[in-house]
Amino acid sequence: SGESGAGKTESTKLLLQHIMNLCKGNSQLEQQILQVNPLLEAFGNAQTVMNDNSSRFGKYIQLRFQKNTVQGAKLSEYLLEKSRVVQQDTGERNFHIFYYMFAGLSSEDKEMYGLLDPTLYRYISGRFGTQDVAQHWKRKYQEVRNALDMVGFQEQEQVDMQAILAGVLSLGNVTFESEESNGSVKVREASQGWLKAAAVMVNVLSQLVSCVLCSPWSPSVSCCCSLCADARDSIAKVAYSRVFDWIVCKINELLAENVDPEVELREIGILDIFGFENFAVNRFEQLCINLANEQLQHFFNHHIFQLEQAAYKEEELPWETITFKNNEPILNLLLAKPLGLLSLLDEQSAFPQATDKTFVDKLNSSFKGNLHFQQGRGCVLGFSIIHYAGKVQYTAGGFLEKNRDTLPANVRGLFINSVTPLLSVLFTGKSLCCAICASFCIVRCPLMHSLMVLMERMYSANPHFVRCIKPNSQKEPGVVDSQVVLQQLRYNGLLETIRIRRDGFSWRPSFEEFAER
């Protein structure tokens, strides 16, 4: 754990290499496991203002062993930041894979995928990079292709996957206008080419895509062009997130252990999850990320302070209680039922007439006087939470939309009928669990369930904590800013941890071990 940019993902890769080395083997399975991280980084990491290779999802890697030999691995992913596909703030980029494709694909392959100059695409903000950066991306693209081959992805699967990503980029350039005669909505003439390119890549008729984008809106709906743009972005986000989910499922199929079910396997799990974030503009995604970090901090406190000191008292050892900063009140503010922030967000999301403003008004009335909540100031609609790591001001715009995760109901049928095998698979069966509501599918935000499953896993394990400390805020190598470091040591509870390790009993051998010694 640690702040964004503190080195969690790099530490995870080193830890995996170390464990594989300790196995003293060089099997294909071990090499495949080592390829999983760079593969997922390409599809799940992006440049942010805090970190050039920031994980925009959480992952839990379970390694399964028999007699010190790795027999299999399983990957679980949490909360991919799919909104990044359609929008990035100043100084940030989309997921790495889009840039790698532009830099690494041959001219012939780009033509096959319908990819033009990268500066034309709205979903990557019309920005590319310098020649040196493009060369780096080209090498990274080759690494990704090697990793896909090594893990076991078929050539046609890789082609289909890249076709879908190219289609997503083209879809982002589709814009809309009102029909003057009857006020209905149509795709702008100037962006018909982008619509056709997107349709060709996913092997469906462009008329059908146009129909899906424009049909939910009646002439009486205000801002209907904006609503069609929202539908377009929803399709792009869900298509990308399905590709990501499929990659994870495919990895798990290929790395599953092939042993007798009766054989008991030992397990080591490594959790690498997005770090605490506090940007100039903090949205729904930052709240999800910071909530996950609040829960991990509470888990750390529980093991290091509460359980440890309870054991000393139970054994009646002379012990002066060490106090620590308990973040339980913040978790209650966020998670309590029925009046926690997320419960109120779900409640508001269920009302069609509710807006981000009615949600903020509800928060202001419910948490008035709460020490960890502050009402927003100024003209920007929002609120502040006093987290364990400091105060974060959240912009409330888009909270309800992102929590609802709306997707036009006829999109599923459109993609199931695609002749691209991969796309059809992504939208078939249990991959889309949703409730039908009017002309929409509402895919409930998986945050609560996802975090609940993760914390159950954590509490059932014997944890070891790797605390990553960020040396400076400028992303500079070889520079240690003592104030930045000290701030992290304080809010992480590491100064109190040092006390409990110094004054307590950090090494506890069994009586047999002690006697042997």
Residue ranges per structural domain of the chain? 8-169+233-279+403-460, 284-402, 482-516
- In 3D space, the residue among 431, 458, 464 whose CA is nearest the CA of residue 292 turns out to be 458
Active site residues: 4-5, 9, 51, 54-55, 275, 277
**SS3 label, residue 4:** coil
CA 458 to chain centroid: 19
pTM, two decimals, is: 0.88
For 489, half-sphere exposure in the C-beta direction (CA atoms, 13 angstrom radius) is 12
Residue 222 has what pLDDT?
46
- Residue found under tokens 């984008």: 213
Q: Are 349 and 401 in contact (CB under 8 A)?
A: no
Selected from 1.20.58.530, 3.40.50.620, 1.20.1260.120, 3.40.50.300, the CATH number assigned to the domain covering 284-402 reads: 1.20.58.530
Q: Are 424 and 246 in contact (CB under 8 A)?
A: no
The reply to whether omega before 338 is within 30° of 0 (cis) is yes
Q: Give Cα separations from 318 to 312, 314, 504 (angstroms).
A: 8, 11, 10
Rounded CA gap, 129 and 124, in Å? 11
Give percent helix, percent strand, percent coil of the chain, each to the nearest 5: 50, 10, 35
Rounded CA gap, 308 and 45, in Å? 36
Alpha-helical (H) ranges within 66-219 are 96-104, 107-112, 131-151, 155-171, 192-201, 206-214
Q: Which amino acid is at 238?
A: V
Residue 235 has what pLDDT?
87
CA angle 292/296/300 to nearest 5° reads 170
Please count the helices (runs of H) and the strands (runs of E) in the chain: 21, 13
CA angle 303/308/310 to nearest 5° reads 115
CA angle 115/120/125 to nearest 5° reads 115
Rounded CA gap, 190 and 209, in Å? 16
CA angle 269/11/133 to nearest 5° reads 125
Rounded CA gap, 235 and 208, in Å? 14
Q: At what angle do helices 28-44 and 96-104 cross, to 10 degrees?
A: 100
Rounded CA gap, 270 and 14, in Å? 12
- In 3D space, the residue among 142, 151, 143 whose CA is nearest the CA of residue 105 turns out to be 142
- In 3D space, the residue among 176, 243, 182, 242 whose CA is nearest the CA of residue 213 turns out to be 176
Residue 472 has what pLDDT?
95
Question: 300 CB contacts (<8 Å, ≥6 apart)?
Answer: 1, 465, 492, 493
Binding-site annotation, residues for ATP? 2-9
User: HEC states along 417-475?
Assistant: CCCCHHHHHHCCHHHCCCEEECCEEECCCCHHHHHHHHHHHHHCCCCCCCCCCCCCCCC
Residue 94 has what pLDDT?
97
Per-residue pLDDT 10s for the chain (517 aa) are 999 999 999 999 999 999 999 987 668 899 899 988 889 999 999 999 989 999 999 999 999 998 889 999 999 998 899 999 999 998 899 999 999 999 999 999 999 999 999 999 999 986 777 888 999 999 999 999 999 999 899 999 999 999 999 999 999 999 988 877 666 788 899 999 998 998 888 777 677 677 777 765 444 444 578 778 888 898 899 899 999 999 999 999 999 988 888 888 999 999 998 889 999 999 999 999 999 999 999 999 999 999 999 999 999 999 999 999 999 999 999 999 999 999 999 999 999 899 999 999 999 999 999 999 999 988 899 999 999 999 999 999 999 988 887 666 677 777 777 767 787 778 764 443 332 223 333 344 456 677 788 888 888 888 999 999 999 999 999 999 999 999 999 998 999 999 998 999 878 889 999 999 9
Q: Are 294 and 447 in contact (CB under 8 A)?
A: no
Binding-site annotation, residues? 2-9
Q: Which residues pair with 13 in a beta bridge?
A: none
CA 159 to chain centroid: 24
- E strands, 274-416, where? 373-375, 382-387, 390-395, 406-408
Annotate 122-155 with b (16+ C-beta within 10 A) or e (fewer): ebbeeebbeeeeeeebeebbebbbebbebbebee
